[in-house]
Amino acid sequence: MTRELHLAGFLIASHVTHSHAAWRHPASETDYLGPGYYRRVAQTLERGTFDFLFFADLLATPVRYGNDIRVPLRSGTQASATLDPSLVAAGLANVTDRLGLAITKSTTYFHPYEVARIFATLDHLSGGRAGWNVVTSLNQAEAQNFGAQDHLGHDERYERAQEFLEVAYKLWGSWDTDALVQDKGTGVFADPDKVRTVDHEGTWFKTRGPLTVPRSPQSRPVLIQAGSSPVGKDFAARWAEAIFEIDPTPEGRRAYYDDVKSRAVNFGRNPDDIKIFPSFVPFVGETEAIAREKQAFHNELADPVSGLITLSVHTDHDFSRYDLDAPIEDLVVPGTQGLFEVARRLGATENLTLRDIGKLYAQGVLLPQFVGTAEQIADQIEAGFTGGEADGYILSAAQAPGTFHDFVDFVVPELRRRGLFRTEYTGTTLRDHLGLGPASLTPVARPSTVAG
């Protein structure tokens, strides 16, 4: 069977994406508080037969950098203003027919019953197109918004997340597929023998059940994850069906791909059942020179301090205390995981300062930028897809919705011409688009030891 490329689009229900410069770009639309902006993006991606539209989310205005919200609000840093993506996605279900709709919900600040109900509802409203990006949340500001002084430790958050998903699986399975009868003649609405309580009482959660939402078209949402620490990658290898990845180098992306796929085998899973999606920002031009000009214009709009504000959020560490011209490899940041290690590796290779990393972070949170004509960008995608870096890619915008239009109008036809990407949808659900089989409601067991 020919291996097929997968494509997804990235948004935050906000004024920016990974690019902090996006809202300042003259071509970017600014009506993100209304439905029209999201509708235009979603319909463009559906026209391009993308697998899904993915919404990231954060639960606090950035405050970690200098303990001050004034600078992030003034500069429009990522997460300074966001809508609830679950409500945005519910609205998009009514204006799209095939595009998958994946949203972020935290296992740290919500309860499994609430989240299971949200995703079962979205799966019904979309006809089986729901996906859940499972996050454990990042920082103290989020904890304080939910009544805690500080957030849980890194490993504790993942332990809570393990039980959270185990409970959600029970709740999604509390209705059999054929439990809903709705026989008007006999007056039987549902078969009570096919609806069960779950009666879960564990370390973190207690819930009786059953879920009030009958079994949904996919039985549960497609599970998405972005683990980058060893514990996070084990979590992804156990649960994820799609993984969102950030790494600016081909070598890093290949290493991540091999690592997570091998961890999946350790959990007794088929590694082909996990689709790995590195993300990138494209700059498409009629010529390479035009594309480079677009890239340069965008990158000049990026403010290093804005980038460091988001780096402080992602590491829960205050980078305002350091000299902006200090080499990044010299900084000692306690307890760092994931993205900061990527930044440190990049800084050591290219001799970058903290200011340089802040600039890169503001340009796109360390995402690689694919620049050139449609053919040149398709070359980069094909090289990564065939070279052991990716099963698909998540497209993030430098300006919206224009970046999505350019990619769909120029790069997608080139990918189709090469036989890499579909010309039409062949299924109706997100699982269909990703080439996944029926969803299991039996969690993969936790082995006594796993790699990493």
pLDDT beneath 70: ranges in the chain: 1, 334-337, 447-452
Q: Identify the sign of the CA torsion 56, 342, 363, 317.
A: positive
Q: Looking at residue 446, what is its pLDDT? A: 79
Closest CA to 103 of 122, 128, 82, 117: 122
CA 278-283-287 angle, 5° bins: 135
Amino acid at 310: T
Residues with Cβ within 8 Å of 384's Cβ and at least 6 positions away in sequence, in order, are 250, 253, 278, 390, 393
Q: What pLDDT score does 413 carry?
A: 98
237 neighbors 267 (Cβ within 8 angstroms):
yes
Helix (H) or strand (E) holding 389: none
Give the total residue count for the chain.
452
Residue pair 263/234 in contact (Cβ under 8 Å)? The answer is yes
Q: What is the pLDDT of residue 149?
A: 85
| Model pTM score | 0.95
Angle at 30 between CA 24 and CA 35, to 5 degrees: 150
Tell me which residue of 205, 206, 275, 189 sits closest to 5, measured CA to CA: 275
Under DSSP, is residue 130 helix (H, G, I), strand (E, B) or coil?
strand
Residues whose CB is less than 8 angstroms from the CB of residue 449 and which lie 6 or more positions away in sequence, other chains included:
none
Run of H or E residues at 1: none
Sort strands 188-190 and 180-183 into parallel, antiparallel or unpaired. antiparallel
The pLDDT tens digits for 125-143 are: 999 999 999 999 878 899 9
Helix (H) or strand (E) holding 47, with range, is: helix 35-47
By three-state DSSP, how is residue 154 classified?
Answer: helix
pLDDT, residue 451, reads 41
Give the model confidence (pLDDT) of 338-350 as tens digits: 778 888 888 888 8
The secondary structure of 195-259 as a DSSP string is B----EE-SS-EE----SSPPPTTSSPEEEE---SHHHHHHHHHH-SEEEE--SSHHHHHHHHHH
Which helix (DSSP H) or strand (DSSP E) does residue 40 occupy? helix 35-47
Give the pLDDT of residue 449: 47
Condensed to tens digits (0 to 9), the pLDDT of residues 77-101 reads 999 999 999 999 999 999 999 999 9
Per-residue pLDDT of 374-394, as tens digits, reads 999 999 999 999 999 999 999
| pLDDT score for 433 | 98
